Structure 1
């Protein structure tokens, strides 16, 4: 990898993540290499992959960046257009006459096996999407590298991806530098904005997506509007951020959704075995359910086997429950705030 190429300064924290990724890549190997970049939505998996792609593409006979695979497959119903793009990028074919997925599989598998390529498959949500674009290693020539970004670790295991890089959130200092650079074009904010900037960075919890969304709203506004926005966020979370995060939740089975919502409302930082016993009594099959949530980057197990989730994921889960009945807590599936419990008991508004 040509690390001498300049990384844009607005990609704060990218250098350290690139160094960790380089250890997994072993670019000197002559085998076909497969690398997965895994993590929750909004962490910057695509951004990191794009930087790697730009740094490395000149080292290969051909390269292809297949962006937004999940979204394109949802919209189009198959990987055919992605297969056409892949062949067009790597073979310079204007029209490759693919009529169905199997045509594409056969053409990719037969025509690229002697070509050293860099293929980046971005935001994969289903293993069948991978099988239509990269079914086997021998589809591509020796020295090829396939990089896959996803929110689902199990998908990478199922497709026998060799190395998986788990992308973590920015630390506070990195997130603060990123926020200030985007909001003020400098790493240090004006004095009257300093404490507010720290509050917004804390709210973003190291998620680059959240920083981008907040700054795009706050940029150029006076300090009193920043204060007003801070107060509004306490009552009404930013929908654009939560909407991106909810994509992973929407793809869960019903039992897994219930486990996620229970942890978000009641069991963050509780012991995994303790929570599993409670959830098992509810018929939620927590042993497999918790494992699935971990693989999909919705839960993490921290020290002493305690369950943890990102603050914005927790906020998303609680918001999903509040939306079940915005005005009447008694009609919601879960109550965790003292004021809501008191209201329901005093007004006797609980629903069946």
Structure 2
């Protein structure tokens, strides 16, 4: 039943359990003498044989039971704290990639290994890392999958936050004493050196991120394995990765199957749509993310829509993935587009319930529109209930916002860059176009504060997020749309 069983052979020999000898032979004979069904007794014997072959603990007459209990509790606690990651049911061709990664990791060996996964955005690096993690995590004393490192590291004290997450994942203990990256490195070095760990660092874009979390093979016990995903191969080389895995684009058959699962909710296209589907697949260049997004956008759509989408895709150069994904964005209705852009600029990684509360306050039908975005694979919801978005889609959303006014951020609909926010507020160049603005004072000079004049023209502002705020002036009549 796919359960974990850890037997305790309490003052009994495992071989007696396996072979039904000793006291077990006598007990089974008594059952048969009492008229129990022979087939049922045979099933019990087989069950005992299986249990006797499982790894567990042997408590003999001279075993100190208090020590054994502590060992059992520690093992059970560690086992229960390790859970698989959520992963899509629509994966195609993943088993081959898992197999190739396991060869590079050499899971059965006691070698410490760092294996990088390198490739362009949307190729499936994160999906492969998650699938491998789920396949092997039970082999390790401690496991951690740290996602969205590129995004998190840019925030105030982002590296310290990532170190705390790693320490909690491995030790299951909060550590509030870490106030700097150097503090975190010391704790990781001292507390992890005797642990066999599995660590995945996802979406790394700077060397310092790796150095702060898994600086050296010798920080961890023998048999530890580290997986790093990155678009930048140089980072993996500097880190002296033992192996680098570069996933290839999907072949035509797998591409068609993945596309079909999203466009038709089946493994192959409908007969009437076969030629159109093959043409769609050809335009994506075998990129899994594009196949999912474009396929999902065509679900339950008629041939006229399909043909229009194909014409648009064929006009875009093969290498320009961003423009291809933008076509799916343009097929959304206005509210869906607004919520997509909000997520890309402000809400990636936030609790879904909080975000929906904000959207409802803005007059959106949040649950209906969010479901539509999830169906189209443009937004995801994690097992923790957090909104998520592939980094390529996040970049697309921000690209769309910036393209409206490249040189004048005060005329954009959303401002999230700290540098842009300060410039707009200082120069009072904000306009009624601005719908959302976010600023974190922990990352800027302590002498600066928010002046009411900087917001005067932002009459349509509906979302304002200010962390560690400092204000100056009268805001009494501001933000009528907030």
2:290 corresponds in structure 1 to 210
1:162 deviates by 0.6
Aligned residues: 247
Distance of 2:302 and 2:177 partners within structure 1: 56
Give the aligned partner of residue 228 of structure 1. 308
Within 5 Å, which residues of 2 pair with 1:50-65? 50-65=130-145
Counterpart residue number, 2:251: 171
Residues 160 and 184 in structure 2, CA contact (< 8 A), matched pair in contact too: yes
Whether the aligned pair in 1 keeps the contact of 2:160 and 2:178 (CA below 8 Å) is yes
Q: Secondary structure at the match of 1:86?
A: helix
1:195 alignment counterpart: 275
Q: Give me the whole-angstrom Cα distance separating, in 1, the residues matched to 2:227 and 2:316.
A: 37
1:84-118 Cα distance to aligned partner (Å, 9 max, x none): 00000001112332101111111111111001110
Question: 1:72 aligns to what?
Answer: 152
Aligned: 1:183 with 2:268 = no
Q: In 2, distance between residues paired with 1:89 and 1:77?
A: 19
The alignment status of 1:161 with 2:219, answered yes or no, reads: no
User: CA shift at 1:185, angstroms?
Assistant: 1.9
Given candidates 203, 208, 214, the residue that maps to 1:123 is: 203
Q: Does 1:113 align with 2:197?
A: no
What is the distance in 2 between the residues matched to 1:60 and 1:228? 51
Contact 2:113 2:226 (C-alpha < 8 Å) held by counterparts: yes
Q: Is the 8 A contact 1:62 1:116 kept in 2?
A: yes
Give a deviation string over 1:207-233, Cα, whole Å, max 9, x none: 001011102211121111111111223
Distance 1:243 1:214 in 2: 12
Q: Provide TM-score, normalisation by structure 2.
A: 0.48
CA distance in 1, matches of 2:106, 2:209: 26
Across the aligned residues of Structure 1 and Structure 2, the Cα RMSD in angstroms comes to 3.1
Query: Which whole-Å CA distance do the structure 1 matches of 2:243 and 2:234 have between them?
Result: 13
CA distance in 1, matches of 2:189, 2:165: 15
CA distance in structure 2 between the partners assigned to 1:138 and 1:243 by the alignment = 44
Higher relative contact order (CA 8 A, sep 6+): 1
Among 122, 127, 130, the alignment partner of 1:47 is 127
CA drift at 1:70: 0.8
The gaps in structure 2 that reach 5 residues or longer are: 1-83, 326-395, 404-482
Q: Deviations over 1:235-276 (max 9, x none)?
A: 4689x941799xxxxxxxxxxxxxxxxxxxxxxxxxxxxxxx
Aligned partner of 1:21 in structure 2 is: 101
**Structure 1 pair 24/131, CA: closer, same or farther in 2 (3 Å)?**
same
Q: How much has 1:33 moved relative to structure 2?
A: 1.1
Q: Does 1:32 align with 2:106?
A: no
1-structure distance, mates of 2:304, 2:109: 56
* The 10-residue stretch of structure 1 (72-81 or 217-226) with the greater mean CA deviation from structure 2: 72-81
CA 231–244 in structure 1, closer or farther in 2 if over 3 Å, else same: closer
**Alpha-carbon spacing, 1:143–1:133, altered in 2? closer, same or farther (3 Å):** same
- For the structure 1 residues 76 and 214, does the alpha-carbon distance in structure 2 shift closer, same or farther, using more than 3 Å as the test? farther
Aligned to 1:88: 168
Helix, strand or coil: the match of 1:37?
Answer: strand
For the residue of structure 2 that corresponds to 1:110, the secondary structure is: helix
Deviation at 1:193, TM superposition (A): 1.2
CA gap of 1:20–1:244, structure 2 versus 1, over 3 A, is farther
Which stretches of structure 1, 4 residues or more, deviate above 4 A after TM superposition?
235-238
Query: C-alpha displacement at 1:52, in angstroms?
Result: 0.5
Counterpart-to-counterpart distance in 2, 1:37 and 1:62: 21
Aligned-pair CA distance for 1:160: 0.8
Q: Aligned residue for 1:255?
A: none
Q: Which has the higher helix share?
A: 1
User: Post-superposition shift, 1:9?
Assistant: 5.5
Secondary structure in structure 2 of the residue aligned to 1:157: helix
Q: TM-score scaled to structure 1, two decimals?
A: 0.65
CA 94–45 in structure 1, closer or farther in 2 if over 3 Å, else same: same
Structure 1 gap ranges (5+): 246-315, 324-352
